[in-house]
Amino acid sequence: MLTSPPADPKRTKRWALAAAGGLIELWAISCLVWPPGLDLARHVALFLAAWLCYLVAIRVVLTLPSSGVRRDLTLIFVVSLVVRGTLLFTPPTLSDDIFRAVWDARLVHAGINPYELAPGAAELATYRDTDIWPRVNAKEQRTPYPPLAELLGAAVYPLLPGRTLPFQALAAALDLVTSGLLALFLHRVGVDPRRALVVAWSPMGALQFAHSGHNDSAMTVAFVTAGLALTFRRHWMSVVWISAAGLIKVVPVLALPVYIRETGWRGLAIAALVLGFGTLPFVSVGPSALSGLLEEGREAQFNDSFHFAAQRLAGLALGDRGDVLATAAGLGLVLAAAGFASRAGTSPLSTLVAASRVLAAYVLVAAVVQPWYVAWLGPLMAVTLRAGKGWRPFAWTDGVGWLWFSGLSILTDLTYQPGGNELWPWVRTLEYGPLWLFLALAALSEMNRSQRNAKPLQIE
């Protein structure tokens, strides 16, 4: 009796990878048919389905044989490009941040400093229209965005003045660049570059950048480039790039101690020069340029975990001043994390992981945690995730916790529905309960390795 030959495991895995990529693209197409912001429950359900396909793809990549890397990378980046290209045709319906970015860019092109006047100022009435202006957020607050983010927005504004598409395209393109730079970084440090799929196929990254146009993808480009510079022994350039990341989103400045270890006071001087030079185009307003950022930081609270608990505990004794204590405690923990991270190994891989963990510490303690912040941690997940054994698809590393958060943080979108505030206890529990548990298990696993005098964690 004739029998068919056994299936080739390598081919089966690659077919599974291609199928997962195809299903993620199908999700992107569904966003064309059903704009995400018009039915939040359906949007969340479809997103989670795509996220499950993403998990399968990561598991497959972690177990692929060492051969066929170029072919696999081609598939990874083709799917990444197609998914983002599809989402570019969806009008931003989940966030109004992009409309503020367009508004700020309009002012810059009119020769007006966006740090000087809030959108609601009477002097700006002539710049208001019926498309962008109605959806500009925080109209009584000056812009909270750092200088380099403003300049990048101003650079693409002339392509289609008053439209969001250039901002979406910029964010999506920079997200792709992050994936490519991460693949190059991984290759140079001897790690499988196919792990860049963690960023390239992330539904959260694709949605928040190609659809919503958030500027965080510019920060991740600078952040990964800082690590890449170390692979060329350009320590001073790594300081330049991490400082540039801080000119797009302030948070990466907290990781400076990790990057100035090899350069000492010269690194501090370079960082000061970059940060100072980056503010020159808007320096005319003086210290008041910080008012928008400070106002937003003082009043905003969204999707917090440590801060949420600390604020309520401190409030029992201090009342309304409990928020100040919770914020101070969180900042202290991040600074402590930065100090601890600065004692990590000095290799490019160890440095990138240590800096990423500083950003992770910030996300854990911040008063505002938007779903797209998890994109900051794509490099950390790409490096630390490992295939598990037995029933576990992944081994216990901190990357598993953030991988969970990259999917379940989408539940925050449900709170924008009528009566959505009642969902917050469930949303926080589903997001942060497993996240903190996975981080604890990862810490215990690492402690057990140390006690057994095992070798340091090796990335396959």
| HEC per residue, 168-199 | HHHHHHHHHHHHHHHHHHHHHCCCCHHHHHHH
Place of tokens 């990529």: 21
Place of tokens 């299903």: 23
Q: Is residue 143 part of a domain?
A: yes
Name the DSSP letter for residue 111: T
Name the DSSP letter for residue 208: I
Q: In a structure prediction context, what are the per-residue pLDDT tens digits for the chain, which is 460 residues long?
A: 445 555 567 789 999 999 999 999 999 999 999 999 999 999 999 999 999 999 999 999 999 999 999 999 999 999 999 999 999 999 999 999 999 999 999 999 999 999 999 999 999 999 999 999 999 998 999 999 999 999 999 999 999 999 999 999 999 999 999 999 999 999 999 999 999 999 999 999 999 999 999 999 999 999 999 999 999 999 999 999 999 999 999 999 999 999 999 888 999 999 999 999 999 999 888 776 676 666 766 667 899 999 999 999 998 887 777 788 999 999 999 999 999 999 988 999 999 999 999 999 999 999 999 999 999 999 999 999 999 988 899 999 999 999 999 999 999 999 999 999 999 999 999 999 999 999 999 999 888 877 775 555 455 4
**Total domain count, the chain:** 2
Instruction: Return all residues near 9 (Cβ < 8 A) that are at least 6 apart.
Output: none
Among residues 163, 181, 211, which one ends one of the domains? 163
My answer on whether 153 and 25 are in the same domain is: no
Find the domain containing 67 and state its range. 9-92+190-203
My answer on whether 24 and 63 are in the same domain is: yes
Task: Give CA–CA dist 183/199, Å, rounded.
Answer: 10
My answer on whether 13 and 152 are in the same domain is: no
Q: What angle do CA 24, 27, 30 make, to 5 degrees?
A: 160
My answer on whether 87 and 20 are in the same domain is: yes
Q: Is residue 299 part of a domain?
A: no
Q: Is residue 416 part of a domain?
A: no
Amino acid at the residue 277: F
My answer on whether 63 and 196 are in the same domain is: yes
Task: Give CA–CA dist 227/272, Å, rounded.
Answer: 19
CA atoms within 13 A on the CB side of 259: 37
Name the DSSP letter for residue 347: S
Q: Is residue 54 part of a domain?
A: yes
Both structure tokens of 436: 């903190």
Instruction: Return all residues near 12 (Cβ < 8 A) that are at least 6 apart.
Output: none
My answer on whether 68 and 102 are in the same domain is: no
Among residues 139, 171, 203, which one ends one of the domains? 203
> What's the pLDDT score for residue 225?
98
Contact of 61 with 194, CB cutoff 8 Å: yes
Task: Give CA–CA dist 432/424, Å, rounded.
Answer: 12
3-state secondary structure of 387: strand
My answer on whether 14 and 152 are in the same domain is: no
My answer on whether 120 and 87 are in the same domain is: no
Name the DSSP letter for residue 355: H
Residue 263, Cβ density class (10 Å: 0-12 exposed, 13-18 middle, ≥19 buried): middle
Among residues 138, 173, 203, which one ends one of the domains? 203
Both structure tokens of 9: 């495991």
Task: Give CA–CA dist 308/339, Å, rounded.
Answer: 24
My answer on whether 13 and 136 are in the same domain is: no
Q: Is residue 37 part of a domain?
A: yes
Torsion of CA 20, 22, 25, 30, to 10 degrees: -100
Instruction: Return all residues near 433 (Cβ < 8 A) that are at least 6 apart.
Output: none
My answer on whether 26 and 153 are in the same domain is: no
